Structure 1
């Protein structure tokens, strides 16, 4: 039971981080119908900006206060990500809205490689560190119930709480603000939303900016855990099974899909991995996504598309 609880708690926290990355996919797809394969590159670019700004600022501003440096670096990285998101929408995808899906996919693939290369040119290609003060020491819970207690990584716990808070704020934004309602109207029907005066271009810029902000938070969290390196963009590949599981158009689906995959891969690695030689954590999410594609391709909360002739 002790190992089961440890694996489950660890899986829930990791799943929340997967859900945060998957949220970027869902937001853009809901509003514009574009599957943004560049979301992983945006996470990497945001993490690079944050890490390098935090490294450059002490010399530029002649300050040593870590909190001030992190706040200024975060603000600068946020401005960069909003600018990058705006340029992507304005210069590329905004001009391809009515094109075939494969055209849009190839455009986002091109953006992915451009951001990877441009990030390396601007920020360098070394492994960088993000230190935002997240605790690194392990935490032991329920020591009176289980011998030795249940081991919980404090960094993962804080990261999961931050991710959960951001998801809650975004859910409230979409549900209760005028802009959020406009975004949901655009997601339901572009033409109907435009007919009642909702400007699609402005809405798409807002969505891409929000996705850039989500990418920045995800990049800071994953960069703090793993270090900022170019393999960080591969984290987004783990978010692809999440959106397949939850549904491309569902914010709750992204959350639940992330939790299912996070817990599933941890439990399978702990209990099934020893029998199969390990490595299950690497491919578990993709096999589960494949099963869902065969059984329920729209995902748990996705809309089932029915063509009538």
Structure 2
């Protein structure tokens, strides 16, 4: 049995490799392929040997968040035409809620859009139900843009960079011989280093912990250990050894700069990944949006998302092939691109 799973929290190729390595060890999993650009994993497994929940639990154990919606529940956005009042909204919501697999329905009269959470892969019953109520509907062209993770990384980087600047300035003043006693005091440096270490660096600690309990250490564990060592050693030097009149170097700026630079690298990596994802979506956008379906001798134009296995499609000369299939009859010239 094959299943597509959306996975949140992957940031680099090592994350994808960790998930693949760990799941391959599970009994009953035949093959697994993780697509970092799409944040998805395709798992081929034996339901008799391993359950779907066991796979999700294993992914969570590694520190990532699997989304059952990718394999069970999906969000569908529909454009609806013909609504005139609140009673229209109530009729559509009631009608769609009665369909099997529908979990949540929300209709917005002002924007003429309908948002449905359903466990069904095929959206044709949703559209047919709306049309049976006297309205016109089709899947919205706009796809939900998942930029939350990207924005979170950007603001985390900005926060870390701003808090690191005073520490970097203190190191610069020390190297150049500029007198700046405030920048060299332990309390001042701790005030700026602690938020970087435990707020900006929290994702490293979280993933490091999961990598320890899953016995699959990675880069995040190294970052957490290295920066924590510099941070704790600076506290020891600045607040304990100086009580005895000893003066030692502080390394608060080292831990803060490491975290900031790693966050900068991850931000650039996420941007590059986003551009790759957009390029893939544009390539997928070249596919035809509609197909001509032969229903008992009557030709009906349907959107690609509404095509089901077993439908008989008509491809005219010069048109692109809308979906994989077998030629039933006829010969022609088509656009192979």
* TM-score between both structures, scaled by the size of structure 1: 0.24
**TM-score, structure 2 as length reference:** 0.23
**Higher RCO structure, 1 or 2 (CA under 8 Å, sep 6+):** 1
Instruction: Select the structure that is richer in strand.
Output: 2
